[in-house]
Amino acid sequence: MEEIQRSDGYTAPPPYAQLRIKAVQSLLVEKGIIDPDSFNEVVDIYENRIGPRDGAAVIARAWSDPEFKAKLLDDGTATLADLGMTGFEGAHVIFVENTNEVHNVVVCTLCSCYPWAVLGLPPAWYKAPQYRARVVFEPRVVLGEFGTTLPDDIEIRVWDSTAEIRYIVIPQRPSGTGGFTVEQLTELVSRDAMIGTKLATPPKGAAA
């Protein structure tokens, strides 16, 4: 369980919700309802294997194949379904593309609706009330806190996901990747870039 370090040097207890989740998990394990190794395996699959790598591969293909990218932008839900990426509980998936003029960022202000079938489990900060409230009103400031500083002339568009609609960002392809394979491009796409709080990772040796 993650510990929180206080300014006075002492370790603060975890949040109440986190304690409740841990207690329920421990009880289920104790009663033999779930196997702890299986539980950890499922978490690892959705955090590291199914997502966000599946999403990164989709973005890398879009960078390499203009026709495929056009299909994503036209009908993301159907295009993902053709790839076997389902599990959105009836939600539509809309892809939005970053350009030299526009930068997109995604939030869910009401709860934490998220395209988990493509991006895996949502990060803790995506579900935090602070992010959900602030990114709508001061997106440039929030992006700066993620280390993403954009020129003043770039428009920032904030997309609010719902139970019916989920958004995924197609980040800009980094320069210096003209000869990269889809597999190499996949390594440059992070979960946060597909949410919009980060840019795609430039290749090693590229100018910052």
- CATH number, domain with residue 151: 3.90.330.10
- Amino acid 7: pLDDT: 47
Integer Cα distance of 96 and 168 in angstroms: 6
- 98 is a domain residue: yes
Residues involved in catalysis: 108, 111-113
- With a cut of 50, list the residues of the chain below it in pLDDT: 1-10
Tell me the per-residue pLDDT of 78-99, one tens digit each, with 9 for 90 and over: 999 999 887 655 579 999 999 9
In a domain? residue 184: yes
208 in any annotated domain: no
Q: What is the pLDDT of residue 47?
A: 61
Looking at the fold, whether 77 and 179 belong to one and the same domain comes out as yes
The confidence score (pLDDT) of residue 29 equals 72
Domain shared by 175 and 96, yes or no:
yes
| In-domain check, residue 183 | yes
Helix, strand, coil percentages for the chain (3-state, nearest 5):
45, 15, 45
Confidence (pLDDT) at 51: 64
Pair (20, 79) in one structural domain:
no
Which helix H or strand E contains 106, and what residues bound it? Answer: strand 102-107
- Which structural domain, as residue segments, surrounds residue 73? 50-195
In this structure, the strands spanning 155-160 and 92-97 are unpaired
pLDDT recorded at residue 44: 66
Buried b (16+ CB within 10 A) or exposed e, 50-78: bbbbbbbbbbbbbbeeeeebebbeebbbe
**Helix 36-44 and helix 16-30: axis angle, to 10°?**
130
Burial class (CB in 10 A: 0-12, 13-18, 19+), 140: middle
User: Is residue 119, in this structure, part of any structural domain at all?
Assistant: yes
Any domain includes 207: no
pLDDT attached to residue 18: 59
- Phi then psi for residue 73, to 5 deg, are -70, -30
Residue 5, pLDDT score:
46
Q: Say yes or no: 183 and 164 in one domain.
A: yes
